[in-house]
């Protein structure tokens, strides 16, 4: 039965906005083109290089995991354009709140390569100083960081600053209460925040269709937040969309939602086996839309010598990969004092006592770290 009074949720969205098609052809969009006037061939080559480096970081880290140097790694393969395009739109004084997968973003923020992998080696719970690169420690609790981004943006507004914050999260995360609360708060306070959702089509084994029946970008309008839905494998679209969102934030126009439609080409993490839940054909179809290849093709249409800048990019990537590996292998294991440090800012007698007892325990062990069975009577 149809009741005309009901509105239909639009289940089909128009194609995501695309500026560079997989075949390298350039599509035009007046609003997006308007914020890209400064992006010349050199700038394009730099975006390309960043993507090559991000991919190499990923390959290197995956190899390091296989070699037992890392406990785990969450690959970003396929999501380079979404991450590089959005991150290169940011100013250094904007603040990033990301999930575990935004290693390309961290690279753009200027993370010290020695710090990028420490979490995944099990050395520390956080690799970098958030205030050194204005990027929060990556979030594993799905969606939690979106609220943090909104709170930060509220603070910017209260302080009268012109910075913005950006929240990176996935398609799975949009179901979480935290993300929906973040959208409500952002709209309520008109906070200068960008919601950047990488719809990579999968939340571990769960397809995006399990999370939503409408394109994710449409969620935002229910909260009163303007949204853009872009081809997330198109670095120019990602750059332009994020620039537009940031412009709005700085102008006091409040939050913007960007859905970057992309694809997780690798496993969820190195511990995952995607052959259990998805088809080869889907993967192959997305391989055709590779974010790096289309920039090569586009640059070729502009008469640039593809081999030359590819080689230069690979060189840069080689250097980064080498620095990454050396930095990781040189890392010393954390110290036992790190177990107890920085739980509290203020004195904590209970924990101090526990630490003292543990020091005594360690001191009671023999040189190889084993307990020596007691001899004689104790005096308690």
Ligand X SMILES: Cc1ncc(C[n+]2csc(CCOP(=O)(O)OP(=O)(O)O)c2C)c(N)n1
Catalytic residues: 264, 268, 277
Nearest alpha-carbon partner for 58 in 11, 14, 120, 1? 120
List of residues 6+ apart from 233 with CB closer than 8 A: 22, 78, 81, 82, 261, 262, 263, 289, 290, 291, 294
In the chain the first and final C-alpha atoms are separated, in Å, by 81
Place of tokens 């394109």: 215
**Among ligand X, Mg ion, other proteins, none, what does residue 101 contact (CB within 5–8 Å per kind)?**
ligand X
Residues at the contact surface with other proteins, assessed by CB under 8 A:
71-72, 100, 119-125, 140-142, 172-173, 175-178, 203-206, 210-211, 271-272, 276-277, 333-334, 336, 338-340, 343, 349-355, 357-358, 360-361, 363-365, 370-371, 373-380
From other proteins, ligand X, Mg ion, none, which one binds at residue 177 (CB under 5 to 8 Å depending on kind)? other proteins
Of 5, 165, 3, 204, the C-alpha closest to 86 is 165
CB of 177 to Mg ion, least distance (A): 18
Q: Helix, strand, or coil here: 166? A: strand
Q: Which does 336 bind (CB under 5 to 8 A by kind): Mg ion, other proteins, ligand X, none?
A: other proteins
Pick 169 or 185: Cβ nearer ligand X: 169
Smallest gap from Cβ 289 to Mg ion, in A, equals 16
256-261: strand order across its sheet: 95-97, 165-170, 193-199, 256-261, 227-231
Please, which residue, 163 or 199, has the CB nearer to ligand X?
A: 199
Q: Using CB under 5 A, which of the segments 100-108, 202-210, 293-301, 371-379 binds Mg ion?
A: 202-210
**Is beta strand 206-207 parallel, antiparallel or unpaired with respect to 202-203?**
antiparallel
Enumerate the β-bridge partners of residue 170: 198
Quick one: 65 exposed, middle or buried, by C-beta within 10 A (0-12, 13-18, 19+)?
A: buried
4 binds, among ligand X, other proteins, Mg ion, none (CB under 5 to 8 A by kind): none
Minimum CB distance to other proteins smaller for 210 or for 305: 210
Which option in Mg ion, ligand X, other proteins, none does residue 124 bind, with CB closer than 5 to 8 A by kind? other proteins
User: At closest approach, how far in Å is the CB of 91 from ligand X?
Assistant: 25
| Minimum gap (Å) between residue 55 Cβ and ligand X | 16
For ligand X, the binding residues (CB under 6 A) are 99, 101, 140-142, 169-173, 200, 202-204, 264, 268
In whole angstroms, the minimum distance from the beta carbon of 79 to ligand X comes to 8
Residue pair 178/206 in contact (Cβ under 8 Å)? The answer is: no
Residues paired with 198 in a beta bridge: 170, 260
Binding flag, residue 272, Mg ion (CB under 5 A): no
- Identify which of residues 272 and 290 has a Cβ nearer to other proteins in the complex: 272
């Amino acid at each position: 039965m149809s009741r005309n009074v009901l509105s239909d949720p639009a289940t089909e969205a128009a194609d995501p906005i695309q500026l560079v098609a997989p075949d390298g052809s350039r599509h035009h969009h007046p609003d997006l083109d308007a914020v890209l006037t400064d992006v010349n061939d050199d700038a394009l080559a730099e975006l390309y290089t960043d993507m090559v480096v991000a991919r190499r970081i990923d390959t290197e880290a995956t190899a390091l995991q296989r070699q037992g140097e890392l406990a785990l790694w969450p690959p970003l393969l396929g999501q380079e354009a979404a991450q590089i395009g959005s991150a290169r739109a940011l100013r250094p004084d904007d603040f990033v709140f990301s999930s575990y997968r935004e290693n390309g973003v961290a690279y753009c923020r200027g993370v010290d390569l020695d710090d990028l992998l420490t979490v995944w080696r099990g050395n520390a719970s956080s690799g970098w100083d958030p205030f050194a690169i204005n990027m929060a420690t990556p979030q594993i609790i799905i969606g939690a960081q979106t609220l943090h981004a909104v709170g930060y943006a509220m603070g910017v507004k209260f302080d009268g600053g012109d910075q913005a914050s950006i929240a990176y999260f996935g398609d799975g995360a949009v179901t979480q209460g935290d993300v929906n609360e973040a959208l409500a708060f952002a709209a309520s306070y008109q906070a200068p925040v960008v919601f950047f959702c990488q719809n990579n089509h999968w939340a571990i084994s769960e397809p995006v269709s399990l999370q939503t029946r409408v394109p994710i970008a449409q969620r935002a309008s229910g909260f009163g937040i303007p949204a853009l839905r872009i081809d997330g494998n198109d670095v120019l679209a990602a750059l332009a969309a994020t620039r537009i969102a940031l412009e709005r934030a700085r102008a006091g126009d409040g939050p913007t939602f960007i859905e970057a439609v992309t694809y997780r080409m690798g496993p969820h993490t190195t511990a995952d086996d995607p052959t259990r839940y998805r088809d080869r054909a889907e993967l192959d179809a997305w391989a055709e839309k590779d974010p790096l290849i289309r920039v090569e093709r586009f640059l070729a249409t502009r008469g640039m010598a593809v081999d030359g800048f590819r080689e230069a990019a690979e060189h840069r990537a080689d250097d980064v990969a080498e620095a990454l590996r050396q930095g990781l292998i040189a890392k010393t294991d954390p110290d036992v004092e790190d177990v107890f440090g920085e739980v509290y800012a203020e004195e904590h007698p209970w924990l101090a006592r526990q630490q003292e007892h543990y020091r005594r325990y360690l001191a009671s062990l023999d040189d190889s770290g084993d307990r020596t069975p007691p001899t004689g009577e104790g005096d308690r």
